[in-house]
Chains A and B, each alone.
Chain A
Amino acid sequence: MAGEPIVEARGLVKRYDARAVVDGVSFAVAPGECLGLLGPNGAGKTTTIRMVTCFSPPSGGTLRVFGLPVEPAHHRTIKSRLGIVQQEESLDPDLTVEKNLTVFASYFGLSRAEATRRAEELIRFAALEERRDARIRTLSGGMKRRLMLARALVNDPALLVLDEPTTGLDPQARRLVWERVRTLKRGGTTILLTTHYMDEAAQLCDRLIIMDAGRIVAEGEPADLVATHVGSEVVEVYLPDAEGDASAVLARLADGPWRTERVGHVQYLYLRDGHAADALPALADLDFMRRRASLEDVFLTLTGHGLRD
């Protein structure tokens, strides 16, 4: 078993009527790895995750989880080793924090004593000791998300699947969730997550897959993706409002050891290693900001600046 991928997708396709939402996606998740699926809305991330977690039968390609083909005959076995945090909150509003955990544990066949012990551990993990008897509607968004995460761990899953784990949370709550996910990573939990937050991807993922319109557009470690697709530094030049003046600036910046891209009133210059200094003379008198290239630049470079709904 050692080294065999936890998830292995080959040419995975999901079609609704004639429309392919996931269109020939291949990837593998290695044991102990945290793989992130990154992409704009409608890229096919959630659909991919739904296929991996037995919620959506693939229309084509092959998909194996824990070495088993994802087919109805294996759903029960696969799901008994999965932990899933869905995008939508699905806690039991009529049960307390503790009951939410013990009842969920019972679905996996844990005995009452075992479920109580596990709930105790997870309440501590989720930092909800003070709220164990609280009803769900009295919890904050961050607490609910932590409880969702804790609940997904009752069966000590071999693969944890997180669908946009911090969407809608405030910065403090997001950091607490990240911290907990990192704790799990250190403990060796294999994680597959989707996100459209670059900082989240950079913080948590060992490896990233960037998806757009149902296909994989790039794949690699965060730092390598930045180096390969963008470079080392980015200069954002803020263009004058008058279109004539802006054109003059653009003409000045047209040639150089960089790639350019214009988005509204900002001209981006993507600079390769060691060329940052070359740009400085051309930038004299301009309103600009120089910064390190980030995943966000990779993302926007690969998936474009158009609005996605």
Chain B
Amino acid sequence: MPIPGIGALRVWRRDLEVWKRFAVTFVVASLGEPLFYLLAMGYGLGRYVENIGGVPYVVFLAPGIIASAAMNSASVEATFGSYTRMAEQQTYAAILATPCSVADIVGGDILYAASKGTAASMFVMLVTAPLGVLHGPWVVGLPVIALLAGLMFGALGVAVTARAPSYDFFNYYFTFGISVMFLFAGVFFPLETLPAWARVVAWCLPLTHAVAACRMLAAGHVTPAIVVHLAWMLVVAAAAFVVAERLVRRRLIV
């Protein structure tokens, strides 16, 4: 199995160097959408939903929005961002002319996507905290879940990018992958309400585990089941990295 080395940190630093230029845009973009969802759904729809599992709807919703912020931000970076570096700017080819390996480049890019995902998720956390939706000391674990989710969606994104013939290709990924997860991974309603077969499908969606873990931490009710969610995300992240590395190598080293 290819292991990213110190080169991955160097690639990550390069990405951060570029990110500095777009920091303001990033903060605005990563706060805007999640907040609008919270307001529209949490307060708008929340008026008609008494409570879910004994908590106000906005309290139920917030951890899901925190988790999906990590997914969205990491996914955009690992698709549009990585594709730009791989195909448009030839950045990958330039870096490959140095001691950095494909594993370093892919690893660095995934780490960068995960960093952005974590940052986006934490912005949402900081802004929603005053609404009284986060409870207890377990909240400090939220960034860890965001990072894991970021690594997972970063790796999945780069794997998709490696096969993308053009930017248009990502429409499929976002419509049939990311949007589906956003709607059916338990962000907006408890999965327990679904028929058994649908629950099984939902359980297979990567976002489901990030949402479930975030919800446990935010509510302060942490059960051993969290270990399953964390392990699930780690395994998917690692597997997606192996696939992404192989596909990018196949595309660049010919």
What is A's interface to B at a CB cutoff of 8 Å? 16, 53, 55-57, 75-76, 79-80, 82, 84, 86, 88-95, 99, 103-104, 106-109, 151-152, 155
Contact = CB atoms under 8 A, between A and B. Distances in A.
A106 B14 contact: yes
B51 interface: no
Interface string B78-99: 0000000000011101111111
B254 A95 contact: no
B93 A92 contact: no
Contacts of A55: 93, 96, 252-253
Given A94-B21, A107-B99, A108-B98, A88 B10 contact: no
B90 A107 contact: no
Given A90-B93, A92-B14, A92-B91, 8 more contacts: A76-B101, A79-B98, A82-B97, A88-B93, A90-B89, A104-B94, A108-B99, A152-B97
B90 A89 contact: yes
B246 interface: no
B238 to A, nearest CB: 21
A90 B17 contact: no
B89 A93 contact: yes
Contacts of B10: 106-107, 109
A107 B17 contact: no
Contacts of A75: 101
A84 B99 CA distance: 12
A80 B253 CA distance: 18
B90 A86 contact: yes
A91 B90 CA distance: 8
Contacts of A53: 97
Contacts of B14: 92, 103, 106-107
B93 A107 contact: no
Given A55-B252, A95-B18, A88 B99 contact: no
Given A76-B99, A80-B99, A107-B100, A56 B253 contact: yes
Given A55-B253, A95-B18, A86 B99 contact: no
B97 A86 contact: yes
B199 interface: no
Contacts of A94: 18, 21
A92 to B, nearest CB: 6
B4 to A, nearest CB: 13
Contact of A86 (B18, B94, B100): B94
B7 interface: yes
Nearest to B21: A94
A84 B97 CA distance: 6
Given A55-B253, A94-B18, A107 B101 contact: no
Contacts of A80: 98-99
A279 to B, nearest CB: 50
Contacts of A56: 253-254
Counting from the closest, the 5 A-B pairs by CB-CB distance are A90-B90, A107-B98, A90-B94, A84-B97, A94-B18
A94 to B, nearest CB: 4
B101 A95 contact: no
A113 B160 CA distance: 38
Contacts of A109: 6, 10, 99
A88 B7 contact: no
A115 B101 CA distance: 20
B30 to A, nearest CB: 19
A90 B98 CA distance: 13
A17 to B, nearest CB: 12
A136 to B, nearest CB: 10
A104 B14 CA distance: 9
A70 to B, nearest CB: 12
A82 B23 CA distance: 35
A94 B22 CA distance: 10
Contact of A104 (B96, B98, B252): B98
B236 to A, nearest CB: 27
Given A55-B252, A88-B90, A103 B99 contact: no
Nearest to A85: B97
Contacts of A82: 97
A90 B254 contact: no
Given A56-B253, A57-B253, A92 B89 contact: yes
Nearest to A86: B93
A84 B90 CA distance: 14
Contacts of A95: 17-18
A107 B6 CA distance: 9
Contacts of B7: 107
Contacts of B13: 103, 106
Interface in B1-34: 6-7, 10-11, 13-14, 17-18, 21
Contacts of B93: 55, 86, 88, 90
Contact of B97 (A16, A79, A92): A79
Contacts of A76: 99, 101
Q: Name, among B93, B94, B254, the residue most crowded by chain A CB atoms within 10 Å (CB to CB).
A: B94
Nearest to A77: B99
